[in-house]
């Protein structure tokens, strides 16, 4: 059966967006493996006779270009035949092709249709991607609560990417109430399965908790009337100034009309993009809540 992994996160964000569709060809290795042309002819005959598993495997063979010239459109054709027979893995694969525009014209709504059919049959990868579609609004009206429902179904069954995504959602307060302890619980489950970004998320959560505790201690020591305090809302953190500057340019058109000032702050080997300063903790918190509507996540509160 085809298993499509989806572990793509380009950089460490202050708020972790869980949307991450995979390289479609990343894990087709266990589908349609034939050793020679004789086996290929036999598989093709069974597929042409209507065998759904054989059709799925033919789709994998054409997508990989094994014993045939690679032809994604032909691969999509075979996946579609198997998908119409109700094979969930074929439905998921066809959904991926519509998401990525490989072998078919890109169509997020059609992708969601096939993800849903597979997800309703319990395929965890489809449940994960359907949740991703709901949280990103790709091919379906954005609905964070529905996203959390589908992603949790997959996470409960042990799907590492879903566990990581659910950790992100608890970190950002997307579809669930923000809860760093719960976020860490799901991130640690994903990390135990070797998820590449789960440990980074756990470290980020630890830093968030320390930051909030530091701010609370500073307030206790100086009082809310401390006029020297300056609070910022961190959007993202990068390892290079060039990446941070590119991100600033991308976000400027989106956020400048709201009256927020974007800037860069470097510390601890990270180049951080931030909004502010805000003169009080309450104002910074209020702005963070408002910005969640614009950004889709709540920025990280910082004081310096």
Which of the four pLDDT bands, split at 50, 70 and 90, describes residue 19? very low
Is residue 13 assigned to a domain? no
Q: Is residue 156 in a domain? A: yes
The pLDDT of residue 23 is 39
CA nearest neighbour of 94 among 63, 67, 65, 66: 63
SS3 197: coil
pLDDT at 210 over 60: yes
Domain end position, chosen among 182, 199, 216: 199
CA 280 – CA 5 distance, rounded (Å)? 44
CA angle 269, 243, 142 (to 5 degrees): 110
The sign one gets for the Cα dihedral 90, 94, 96, 97 is: positive
Is the torsion defined by CA of 239, 186, 294, 6 positive or negative?
positive
How does the average pLDDT of the chain come out, rounded? 81
CATH number at 283 reads 3.30.70.1070
Q: How far apart are the first and last CA of the chain?
A: 52
Give yes or no: residues 139 and 93 share one domain.
Answer: yes
Residues 192 and 242 in one domain: no
Is the same domain home to 116 and 190? yes
162 Cβ contact partners less than 8 Å away, ≥ 6 residues apart: 124, 127, 128, 131, 151, 152, 153, 154, 155
- Does some domain include residue 251? yes
What pLDDT, on a 0 to 100 scale, did the predictor assign at position 11? 23
Query: Residue 117 maps to which CATH number?
Result: 1.25.40.10
Give residue-wise pLDDT tens across range 90-142.
999 999 999 999 999 999 999 999 999 999 999 999 999 999 999 999 999 99
Domain coverage including residue 268: 224-303
Query: Is 189 found in the same domain as 91?
Result: yes
Same domain for 263 and 298, yes or no, is yes
48 within domain boundaries: no
**pLDDT (mean) for 144-153:** 96
Two tokens at 112? 């969601």
Going along 142-288, which residue ranges are E strands? 231-238, 262-267, 270-278
Are 58 and 92 within 8 A, CB to CB? no
Report if residue 298 sits inside a domain: yes
Both tokens of 201, joined, read 């998320």
Which pLDDT score, from 0 to 100, does residue 273 have? Answer: 80
Residues 182 and 231 in one domain: no
In 3D, which of 70, 45, 64 has the Cα closest to residue 2? 64
Residue 230 burial (10 A CB sphere; 0-12, 13-18, 19+)? middle
Same-domain pairing of 297 and 194 = no
Co-location of 193 and 230 in the same domain? no
User: What is the domain count for the chain?
Assistant: 2
| More confident site: 135 or 219 | 135
Per-residue pLDDT for 155 more than 90?
Answer: yes
The DSSP code sequence of 77-125 is HHHHHHHHTT-HHHHHHHHHHHHHTSSS---HHHHHHHHHHHHTTT-HH
Is the residue at 287 inside a domain? yes
Task: Give the span between the Cα atoms of 229 and 213, in whole angstroms.
Answer: 15
Domain boundary among 199, 232, 249: 199
Are 248 and 180 within one domain? Answer: no
Residue 176 lies in a domain: yes
Same-domain check for residues 153 and 228: no
Do 160 and 94 lie in one domain? The reply is yes
Is the pTM higher than 0.85? The answer reads no
The token duo for 273 is 């993009």
* Residue 193 sits in the same domain as residue 266: no
pLDDT confidence of residue 269: 66
Read off the pLDDT of each residue in 68-86 and give the average, rounded to a whole number: 96
CB contact set of 168 (below 8 Å; sequence gap of 6+) = 16, 17, 18, 174, 183, 201
In a domain, 217, yes or no: no
Average pLDDT score over residue span 261-276? 75
């Amino acid at each position: 059966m085809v298993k499509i992994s989806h572990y793509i996160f380009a950089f460490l964000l202050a708020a972790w967006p869980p949307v991450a569709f995979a390289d479609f060809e990343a894990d087709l290795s266990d589908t349609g493996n034939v050793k020679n042309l004789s086996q290929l002819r036999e598989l093709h005959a069974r597929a042409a006779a209507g065998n759904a598993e054989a059709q799925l495997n033919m789709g994998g063979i054409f997508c990989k270009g094994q014993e045939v010239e690679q032809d994604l459109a032909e691969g999509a054709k075979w996946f579609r035949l198997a998908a119409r027979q109700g094979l969930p893995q074929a439905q998921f694969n066809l959904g991926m092709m519509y998401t990525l525009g490989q072998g078919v014209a890109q169509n997020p709504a059609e992708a969601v249709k096939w993800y849903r059919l597979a997800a309703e049959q319990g395929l965890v990868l489809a449940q994960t991607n359907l949740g991703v579609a709901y949280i990103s609004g790709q091919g379906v009206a954005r609905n964070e609560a529905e996203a959390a429902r589908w992603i949790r179904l997959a996470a409960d069954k042990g799907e590492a990417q879903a566990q990581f995504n659910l950790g992100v959602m608890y970190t950002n307060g997307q579809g669930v109430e923000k809860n760093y302890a719960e976020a860490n619980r799901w991130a640690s489950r994903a990390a135990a399965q070797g998820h590449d970004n789960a440990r980074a998320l756990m470290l980020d959560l630890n830093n968030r908790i320390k930051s909030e505790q530091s701010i609370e201690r500073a307030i206790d020591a100086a009082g809310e009337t401390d006029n020297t305090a300056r609070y910022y809302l961190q959007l993202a953190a990068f390892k290079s100034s060039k990446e941070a500057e590119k991100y600033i340019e991308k976000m400027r058109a989106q956020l400048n009309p709201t009256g927020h000032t974007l800037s860069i702050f470097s510390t601890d080997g990270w180049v951080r993009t931030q909004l502010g300063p805000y003169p009080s903790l309450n104002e910074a918190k209020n702005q963070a809540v408002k910005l969640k509507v614009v950004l889709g996540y709540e920025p990280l509160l910082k004081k310096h």
